[in-house]
């Protein structure tokens, strides 16, 4: 099985997650930044942003630095970079990285001190209960793949209903502002030949709203840092 050091995660970025980033944010931390595709999209949409990335792969870091101010190489499950100051980031991204970790909730909690009060944490994780995954299991198939929900480096699996409960169980100071999914309804030939784009889009929206665990491909969590109120 390949490890992070052997792979370069390069894709088209995650525009559905990035659409929730406030362009007025001053500094963004992209945890598990891959080859910097999210930073590239953010830089195009929000030019004033200062983006810093973290990856476990030196190969990825060398590519990602082209799209951000700095990219650090670190194993976030064992030690966070010492260069970070408390309350220094307006937004922290975890785009399809937490499912690769042994203790994702603990790691998420370790980043909260570096987030400014009122700042946001944006998380995207794959939904294992999506209809495509269900079909694979119905057919008796559970085979690891190079990418996707059955990625061979995935250690944790989430659904729409379990993602926030599991990921936030060790976290204090973050308030869930939004939980949603992205994905589509399997319309097959109807989408291509019979339904208009607007009608297909409407059906996708209705499917995600009514059955998020079935039609959601990824779960998105938007979290806001609030003051922790101590109870005397």
87, 175, 202 from 228: Cα distances, Å: 14, 10, 40
Token readout for 80 is 């966070």
In this structure, the number of other CB atoms found within 10 A of the CB of residue 229 comes to 6
Q: Classify domain 4-225 by CATH number.
A: 3.40.50.150
Average of per-residue pLDDT across 122-134: 97
Question: Where along the chain do its domains lie?
Answer: 4-225
Whole-number Å distance between alpha carbons of 159 and 216: 9
Residue 1 pLDDT: 44
Contact 149, 125 (CB under 8 A): no
Higher pLDDT: 190 or 101? It is 101
0.85 cut: is pTM over it? Answer: yes
> Tell me: the pLDDT tens digits for 31-89?
999 999 999 999 999 877 899 999 999 999 999 999 999 999 999 999 888 889 999 99
């Amino acid at each position: 099985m390949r490890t992070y050091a052997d792979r370069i995660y390069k894709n088209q970025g995650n525009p559905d997650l990035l659409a929730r980033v406030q362009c007025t944010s001053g500094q963004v931390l992209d945890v598990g930044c891959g080859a910097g595709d999210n930073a590239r999209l953010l830089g195009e949409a929000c030019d004033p942003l200062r983006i810093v990335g973290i990856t476990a792969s030196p190969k990825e870091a060398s590519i990602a630095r082209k799209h951000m101010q700095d990219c650090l190489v670190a194993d976030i499950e064992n030690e966070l970079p010492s260069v970070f100051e408390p309350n220094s980031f307006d937004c922290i991204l975890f785009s399809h990285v937490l499912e690769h970790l042994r203790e994702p909730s603990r790691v998420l909690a370790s980043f909260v001190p570096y987030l400014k009060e009122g700042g946001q944490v944006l998380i995207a994780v794959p939904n294992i209960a999506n209809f495509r995954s269900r079909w694979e299991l119905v057919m008796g198939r559970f085979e690891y793949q190079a990418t996707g929900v059955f990625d061979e480096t995935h250690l944790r699996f989430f659904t729409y209903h379990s993602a926030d409960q599991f990921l936030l169980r060790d976290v204090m100071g973050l308030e869930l502002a939004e939980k949603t999914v992205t994905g589509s309804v399997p319309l097959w030939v109807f989408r291509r030949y019979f339904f208009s784009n607007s009608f297909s889009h409407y059906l996708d929206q209705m499917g995600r709203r009514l059955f998020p665990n079935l039609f959601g491909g990824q779960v998105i969590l938007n979290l806001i840092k609030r003051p922790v109120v101590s109870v005397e």
